[in-house]
Amino acid sequence: MEILCPAKVNLFLHVTGKRPDDYHTLLSLMCNIDIWDRVTLRFGTGSMRVICTDPDVPEDQTNLAYRAAERFMCQLGDQHGVKREGADITIDKQIPVAAGLGGGSSNAAAVLCGLNRRYGNPFNRQELLALALEIGADVPFFIFGKAAIATGIGERLVSFSNLRPYYVVLIYPGIRISTAEVYKKLDIGLTKYKKEPKEIRLEDQVYDAALHLCNDLESVVFSSFPEIVDAKNTLLEHGAVGALLSGSGSSVFGLFEDMTAAQDAKRSLDNNAAWKLFSPQLIMDGGCRIQEH
């Protein structure tokens, strides 16, 4: 079984508070983009194993795809009495790692969806979303499979489709950022960051890059990585109507209203050897794509 799983960007990300268990609560508009990892599942291999084309990704039990597979098999045994089966999970990694694009979470969601298909959908959508949340706060979004406003720690998802067809240019500046470190620094930098994002009642509004682009993690990341500030400014200088850090970085993306301007920007930025450039489309509807052989 082959599963294509997308990356995501956060079109806004407000940190709204912190729960007693130390998880931060968010208000974020998340949207898939068409940069894809390919996850292949081969069954009948005895044990569970992960192989990844990117040497920066762990192949042990800490891999999110591995954890998703283990959690799924365990729940399948407990709830449906199905005998545990192993699998080889091969990840052809195209999504930059530790770049705020959700690659690991997307891989985990792909494995949950793929295994659910293999066993004849033993878990309904709610059950699958609950399993996903046990793996990570961003995993439910990739099961949800549509642009969505996420609240809670990312598990409360409401679909959102009022988005104009922006053209995207995304810069991966070749830097890996630990999400946990960014949140730790946010805690140190701010004693009180409970805010009321009154302006973000977006249900009936059209998302407008000029008004709504915002990422509360930018200040933390920008203070440590001036080269990421440069990347953002460069996108603005090249005609983006807005530009933003995705998630906890390191990727930044620019939104363009004009296709030619986006193409021109990508072309002229391509000669920076430290950067990897993408021009992905925003995917409003659709997540993992399963192909069975």
Q: Which residues bind ligand ATP (CB under 6 A)?
A: 57-58, 62-65, 91, 97-105, 107, 138, 179, 247-248
To ligand ATP, the closest distance from the beta carbon of 105 in angstroms equals 5
Does residue 138 carry a catalytic annotation?
Answer: yes
Q: Which residues does residue 39 pair with via DSSP β-bridges, in sequence order? A: 3, 91
CA dihedral sign of residues 268, 270, 274, 277: positive
8 Å CB contact between 275 and 257: no
For ligand ATP, the closer CB: 179 or 272: 179
Cα–Cα distances in Å, from 226 out to 66, 185, 244? 35, 16, 14
Q: Which of 37, 60, 78, 138 is catalytic?
A: 138
Phi, psi (rounded to 5 degrees) for 274: -80, -15
CA 127 to chain centre: 21
Does residue 8 carry a catalytic annotation?
Answer: yes
Rounded CA separation 140/135 (Å)? 9
Host H or E run for residue 64? helix 64-80
Q: What residues contact residue 78 under an 8 Å CB cut-off, 6+ apart?
A: none
* Pairing status of strand 214-215 against strand 2-18: parallel
For ligand ATP, the closer CB: 110 or 265: 110
Rounded CA separation 162/66 (Å)? 35
- The residues annotated as belonging to the active site are 8, 138
